[in-house]
Chains A and B, each alone.
Chain A
Amino acid sequence: MYDLNFFLQQLSNGLTRGSIYALIALGYTMVYGVMKLINFAHGELFTLGAYFGYTILVTLGLAGSLGPPMAIGLSMIMVLGLVALAGHLLERVAYRPLRHSDRLAAVVSALGASIFLQNAIMLKWGAQYRAFGADLLPNVVFHIRNFNLPLVRLLVFVAAIVVMAILHLFIHRTRLGLAIRASAIDQGAAKLMGIDVRKVIALVFIIGPALGGLAGLLVGLYYGQINYNMGQIYGLKAFTAAIIGGIGNITGAMVGGLLLGLLEAMGEGYVSVAWKDALTFVVLIMILVFRPTGLLPERVAEKL
C-alpha cells in the first residue's frame, strides 16, 4: 500500500492543502508584521469567503447560467472584493480604535470580533453543512500512469500559487509593497520617511482578508462542503504555518503553509488520521522551542 503512487497521492494532496494554508497564513503574517496583532477574526473572514462563494455560485446559480469556468473566475473576483471590504470594516470598527491601547485589549477585541462573525455567519446561513454541488466542476481526473490527479486539485493549487506569485511581485516590486515592508520593520522610522502607516495598516487589512476569503472559496470547491465554524481550525493551522515560516515574513508564510500541508498529508497517510492535528501542534511547539523565529533564517531586510 505504501508505494510510490501512494506517496505521490499524499504529496499532491499535501501541496494543495498547503497552498490553502499558505493563502490564509499570508493574512495573519501581514497583519502581524505591521500591527503586531494576532487577528483572531481572520479565520472567520476565511469562512465568510466560503459562504460568499456559496451564495454566488449555488444560491444565485451563477454556475448554472454562466458555465463553470466563467462562473468560478467571476466568483473568485467577487469574493476577493467582498471579503476585502469586510476586512476593511473589521479593521475600522474593531482594531483602529485600539491601536494605542494595551496589547491584550486588542487580542480580546479580536476574539470578540471572531465570536461575533462566527455567530453572524451561523445566523445568516445556518449551522448545518452547505454543499457546493457535485456538478459545479466537471469531474475530470488526469491519469499519469497509476497516479490520479483530479482537476479540482490542480485548479485549487494553481489558483493559490498564481495569487501568491502576484502578491510576491506586489510586495517586492512596487512602492506600496516597499511601504508595507518598511512599516513592518519599524513603524516609527517608516513614519519619519513619510510613509502613512495608517494607510499601510488599512491596505494590509484589505489584502490579507481578500486572500483568506479566496482560500475559503477554494476550500468550498475542493472539499465540496462548508460549515460555519470551519474558520477556527483552519485559522489555527494557518497561524501555525505563519509561525513555522517566521511570523511577519511573507515568503515564510507561503513556505510554512506548504510545509504544514505536506506534514499533515504525510502524517495522515503514514502515521494516523486521528492524531494528525496533534502532530501539527507538536511540530509547532518543537519549532518554537528550538527555533523561536521560525524556520526561515531571519534576515531583517527581508522580514516583513
Chain B
Amino acid sequence: MTQNNGPPNGPPASAPAKDLARGPALNQTNQVNHLANNLANNLAPELNGSKTNPILAILTGLGLLIFAFLPMILAALVGRSTPYWLDVINTVGLYTILALSLNVILGHAGMFHMGHAAFFAIGAYSTAILNLTYGWSIMATMPVAALAAGLVALILAWPIIHLRGDYLLIVTIGIVEIVRIALTNNIFGLTGGSNGLVGIARPSLFGFRITSPKHFFYFIWIVVGLTFLLFHWLENSRFGRALKFIKEDTVAAENMGVNTSRYKLMAFVVGAAWAGLAGTIFASRMRTISPESFVFSESVLLFTIVILGGKGSQKGVLLGSFLVIGLPEFFRGFEDKRLLVFGAALVVMMIFRPQGLLPSKQARYKLPPAWADRLAHLPKPEANGSNGPGPQNSVAPKKGP
C-alpha cells in the first residue's frame, strides 16, 4: 500500500504525519466510494446506449415499412406459394418471441438455461386445456398460460436458482425431460398422452378471427414488436441493470447489496412467463399440440439462437432466429443434410465468432462533465499494488481537486 512517489491526490497539508503512509490509499477508497454512491443514486438512468444515428433510424424505419407490407410484396413475387413463405416467417416470429424470452434468462442474467421448451409447453397446454375442456376463448387463456408457466418456473427454480453454470444447465435439461414425460403419460388425464390435444380454436381479437397465415403474420409480428420493446425497456430498467451487474460479477453485485437470488429468480420467471404466452400463440396457430413439439432438442435450438445471434442482444436474437429457423427453408432440396450442415456451422461459427453475430454492446453510461473530470483524475488501481518504488508507479495528476 505504500507509495514512494508522493500521494497522487495529496492529503490536506494539515494531515498528521502518521497518515502520510496510508492516507492516500484511504483517501482514494473514500473518494471512489463516494463517487460510486453518487453515481448509483443520481446518474445511472442517463443511458447513452439509445442514441442512434439518423441514417440508421431512417433505414430501420424503411425496413419496418417494407416488412409491414411483406404479405403483399410476397404475393407479387412468389404468387401462389405466399402462404408457405408466410408460414415460414411466422415460425421465425414465434421462435423470435421464445428466443427473446430466453435471452432475458440466458443473455441478461447469464443463467445457463437449456429447458425453455418446458415453459413453452406449459403455456401451450394451458391454452389447449382451457379452450378444449372449459371453452375459454384463446385470448382469454393467454394471460393464464403466461401465469401458469411463470408459476411453475417460480416453484421449480426456487430451489435451484443458486446453482452455478453447468449444474443449472443439467437441471433445466432435467426439467424439460420431466415435463415431456409427464405430458406423454397423460398427467391428470388432461394432456392427451402422446397423441396430444386436437382441435384448438383460433384466436379472435375484437371480434376479428385470426385464421390465415396472413392474419397470423400480423398477429405474431406485432407480438414480436411488443416483446422487443418490453424487454428493451426491461434491460435498461433498474431490474435490467441489476441483472447486468450480476452477470458481470455476482460476488461484487452481492457485496453492493443486490439481492442476486431474487433478481435471478425474477428474470427466470419473466422469461418463462413470456414463453408461456408464446405457447398460446403456438397452440392456436397449430390447432394440434403433442409432446413432440416440446422436446429437449427444441430447447437446444432456442439456446443456439440466442448464443449464435449474440447473447444479450435483441437484434442478434432476431438475426439468429432468421438464420436458424428461416434460412434452412431455402435448402429444402437437401432435406436430410440440413442438420448436418447446421451442426458443422455451429462449430465453425463458435470458433471464428464466439461472441455471436451481433453481440450486445457494452452499456455506456453518460457522466456529467464534473464527475467525468474527477473520475479521469483518480489514480489507476494498478498504481496501488506496486512491486517496489519506481517512477512508473506515479500517477501524479496535474490538476488537484
How far does the alpha carbon of A38 sit from the alpha carbon of B166 in the complex, in Å? 8
Which of A103, A112, A285 lies in contact with B346, CB distance below 8 A? Answer: A112
Assess the A109–B347 pair: CB atoms within 8 A: yes
Residues of B within 8 A of A285 (CB): 159-160, 171, 174-175
A193 within 8 A of B: no
Knowing A38-B166, A104-B307, A113-B347, say if A281 contacts B174 (CB, 8 Å).
yes
B70 within 8 A of A: no
User: What are 12 A-B interface contacts by the 8 Å CB criterion?
Assistant: A36-B166, A98-B354, A104-B311, A105-B354, A108-B304, A108-B349, A111-B346, A113-B346, A117-B343, A119-B336, A119-B343, A281-B174
Which of B296, B336, B350, B355 lies in contact with A112, CB distance below 8 A? Answer: B350
Q: Which B15-73 residues have C-beta < 8 A from chain A?
A: none
How far does the alpha carbon of A136 sit from the alpha carbon of B251 in the complex, in Å? 58
Residues of A within 8 A of B185 (CB): 274-275
A288 within 8 A of B: yes
A144 within 8 A of B: no
Assess the B347–A278 pair: CB atoms within 8 A: no
How far does the alpha carbon of A135 sit from the alpha carbon of B307 in the complex, in Å? 48
Assess the B337–A123 pair: CB atoms within 8 A: yes
Assess the B339–A109 pair: CB atoms within 8 A: no
Q: Which B328-347 residues have C-beta < 8 A from chain A?
A: 336-337, 339-340, 342-347
Assess the A243–B170 pair: CB atoms within 8 A: yes
In the complex, per-residue mask of A273-300: 1 if CB is within 8 Å of any chain B CB, else 0: 0110110011011001100100000000
Residues of A within 8 A of B296 (CB): 232, 236
Which of A104, A120, A240, A292 lies in contact with B174, CB distance below 8 A? Answer: A240
A102 within 8 A of B: yes
> Which chain A residue shows the least CB distance to B165?
A103
Assess the B344–A108 pair: CB atoms within 8 A: no
Assess the A236–B173 pair: CB atoms within 8 A: yes
Assess the B346–A292 pair: CB atoms within 8 A: no
Residues of B within 8 A of A74 (CB): none
How far does the alpha carbon of A167 sit from the alpha carbon of B329 in the complex, in Å? 47
How far does the alpha carbon of A236 sit from the alpha carbon of B297 in the complex, in Å? 12
Residues of B within 8 A of A101 (CB): 350, 354
Question: Could you tell me the distance in whole angstroms from the C-beta of B83 to the nearest C-beta in chain A?
Answer: 29
A58 within 8 A of B: no
Residues of B within 8 A of A281 (CB): 174-175, 177-178
Q: Which B280-333 residues have C-beta < 8 A from chain A?
A: 296-297, 300, 303-304, 307-308, 311
Assess the B354–A236 pair: CB atoms within 8 A: no
How far does the alpha carbon of A112 sit from the alpha carbon of B337 in the complex, in Å? 14
A116 within 8 A of B: yes
Residues of A within 8 A of B307 (CB): 104-105, 107-108
Assess the A240–B346 pair: CB atoms within 8 A: no
Assess the A109–B160 pair: CB atoms within 8 A: no
Listed residue (B160, B175, B311, B354) with the most chain A CB atoms within 10 angstroms of its CB: B354
Knowing A104-B112, A236-B177, A243-B170, say if A289 contacts B160 (CB, 8 Å).
yes
A249 within 8 A of B: no
A60 within 8 A of B: no
B182 within 8 A of A: yes
B395 within 8 A of A: no
Q: Which residues of B contact A (CB under 8 A)?
A: 112, 159-160, 163, 165-167, 169-171, 173-175, 177-178, 181-182, 184-185, 296-297, 300, 303-304, 307-308, 311, 336-337, 339-340, 342-347, 349-351, 354-355
A94 within 8 A of B: yes
Assess the B351–A97 pair: CB atoms within 8 A: yes
How far does the alpha carbon of A36 sit from the alpha carbon of B164 in the complex, in Å? 12
Residues of A within 8 A of B354 (CB): 98, 101-102, 105
> Which chain A residue shows the least CB distance to B311?
A104
Listed residue (B178, B184, B304, B355) with the most chain A CB atoms within 10 angstroms of its CB: B178
Question: Could you tell me the distance in whole angstroms from the C-beta of B146 to the nearest C-beta in chain A?
Answer: 24
How far does the alpha carbon of A287 sit from the alpha carbon of B182 in the complex, in Å? 20
11 further A-B pairs in the complex, CB-CB below 8 A; given A36-B166, A94-B351, A98-B351: A104-B307, A109-B351, A112-B344, A116-B340, A119-B336, A123-B337, A123-B340, A243-B170, A288-B163, A288-B170, A289-B160
Listed residue (A32, A93, A108, A236) with the most chain B CB atoms within 10 angstroms of its CB: A108
How far does the alpha carbon of A152 sit from the alpha carbon of B260 in the complex, in Å? 52
Q: Which A88-134 residues have C-beta < 8 A from chain B?
A: 93-94, 97-98, 101-109, 111-120, 122-123
Residues of B within 8 A of A106 (CB): 350
Residues of A within 8 A of B350 (CB): 98, 101, 105-106, 108-109, 112
> Which chain B residue shows the least CB distance to A283?
B174
Listed residue (A38, A104, A240, A277) with the most chain B CB atoms within 10 angstroms of its CB: A104
Question: Could you tell me the distance in whole angstroms from the C-beta of A252 to the nearest C-beta in chain B?
Answer: 14
> Which chain B residue shows the least CB distance to A276?
B181
A239 within 8 A of B: yes
Question: Could you tell me the distance in whole angstroms from the C-beta of A41 to the nearest C-beta in chain B?
Answer: 9
Residues of A within 8 A of B167 (CB): 243, 288, 292
Assess the A288–B337 pair: CB atoms within 8 A: no
Residues of B within 8 A of A284 (CB): 170-171, 174
Question: Could you tell me the distance in whole angstroms from the C-beta of A118 to the nearest C-beta in chain B?
Answer: 8
Question: Could you tell me the distance in whole angstroms from the C-beta of B195 to the nearest C-beta in chain A?
Answer: 15
How far does the alpha carbon of A281 sit from the alpha carbon of B156 in the complex, in Å? 13
> Which chain A residue shows the least CB distance to B295?
A232
Residues of B within 8 A of A97 (CB): 351
Question: Could you tell me the distance in whole angstroms from the C-beta of B166 to the nearest C-beta in chain A?
Answer: 6
How far does the alpha carbon of A267 sit from the alpha carbon of B371 in the complex, in Å? 65
Residues of A within 8 A of B174 (CB): 240, 281-282, 284-285
